[in-house]
Amino acid sequence: MKYQLSDADRVWAEETYEKIREKISAECDRVGDRIPYIAEDGVYKEDKAETDIVWWTNGFWPGILWQMYHAEGKETFRKAAEGVEEKLDKAFETYTGLHHDVGFMWLHSAAASYRITKNERSRARALHAAHLLAGRYNPRGKFLRSWNRDRSGWVIVDSMMNIPLLYWARDEIQDPRFEFVAMDHADTLMKYTVREDGSCNHIIVLDPVTGELLETPGGQGYESGSSWSRGQAWAIYGFALSFLHTGKKEYLDTAKKVAHYFIAQTDLTGGVALVDFRAPKEPVYWDSTAGVCAACGLLEIASHVPEVEKEFYTNAALRILKATDERFCNWDPAYDSIVQMGSGSYGTEHDRHVPIIYGDYFFIEAVLRLLDKDILIW
């Protein structure tokens, strides 16, 4: 086994996997190849294929389905995932609205499909997305611009989770350009996003001509200088993945640095994450999705560190996952979504304390990792 678990932890993981299997099987029967985002009153009412085909989270449902297909071999999972992938072709046609999150969209759909089925059409789609992402590269500032509109120098830490699409393209067509772009970007974020204490900026604004750091807006956190928890999670997992794909030790060291900060903060709140670790004590806002994403990153770190360090990161991930299970999970198969109490940002109400699709994805991936049933989608 990749992770050394106690008997009690293994039992928890196995029992949780059985609940996941039952829950996602029931959801797949109801949802099929629609594209869910936030469950309302236990129902995925909105279909992003109809309302916003370029929305950044549109890959997470097929990501769940491919993880479950890899673990179970159940054809309904594969067929639903392939259906979403085909619908995402409309996003390519639309083009306007696509940005740095094409990694989230096509790593979990087309690239995952190709890894498992070797479908050449899926390979072409994933390569198309990789070229779109690489095309956002600013060679003066050495970064991939985030978002669109008048934000040519804006970069967000979330982008670290999208550059694995470039590493995949590097390997797939044996073209080092994709790695050069990805590593330039990771180096820039390592320099300007991660602070000395291990906390992170969500947004950095760079001069698009010189690459000079201009400002660090608060973004989805409380304010500039605060500590948006999901941004910390993106950094943990994102830098760990860049280490996986490049072997550059500074990336692993950075992932560990942010991880230590995140672990210390969540230990203060029983293993679950506040939306922002540096927001006022009241009101209390939670973001379950930050914790489960960080747990995946902690497990990735555990797979790379020396034996004497592995238990620390594995146990930290387990504490977060178990706390999330105990406090925030709904296991009723008739109720859409597993992980409740996710929050999109500190300042918005419509996506505060709601079940968000990527929370389920990261929780499921983490449990599958513990049991060696996962497939590397990143």
Check if the beta carbon of residue 30 is closer than 8 Å to that of residue 39: no
For residues 198 and 102, give the distance between their C-alpha atoms in angstroms, rounded to a whole number: 27
For residues 306 and 321, give the distance between their C-alpha atoms in angstroms, rounded to a whole number: 23
Q: Which of 29, 33, 89, 101 is catalytic?
A: 101
Whether 187 is a known active-site residue: answer no
For residues 274 and 41, give the distance between their C-alpha atoms in angstroms, rounded to a whole number: 23
Q: Which of 7, 89, 158, 374 is catalytic?
A: 158
Token duo for residue 158: 């979330």
Collapsing DSSP to helix, strand or coil, 138 comes out as: strand
Torsion 200-201-203-207 (CA) sign: negative
Q: Which amino acid is at 39?
A: A
Measure CA 205 to chain center.
22
Token duo for residue 115: 């890894």
| Beta carbons within 8 Å of 55's beta carbon, 6+ residues apart | 35, 37, 48
CB-hemisphere CA count at 13 Å for 52?
A: 11
Pairing of strands 154-156, 203-206: antiparallel
What is the C-alpha end-to-end distance of the chain, expressed in Å? 20
Q: Which residues pair with 155 in a beta bridge?
A: 204
Whether 7 is a known active-site residue: answer no
Check if the beta carbon of residue 216 is closer than 8 Å to that of residue 187: no
Check if the beta carbon of residue 12 is closer than 8 Å to that of residue 369: no
For residues 117 and 278, give the distance between their C-alpha atoms in angstroms, rounded to a whole number: 45
Helix, strand, coil percent values for the chain (each to nearest 5): 55, 5, 35
Token duo for residue 228: 């948006």
Q: Which amino acid is at 158?
A: D
Residues serving a catalytic function are: 101, 158
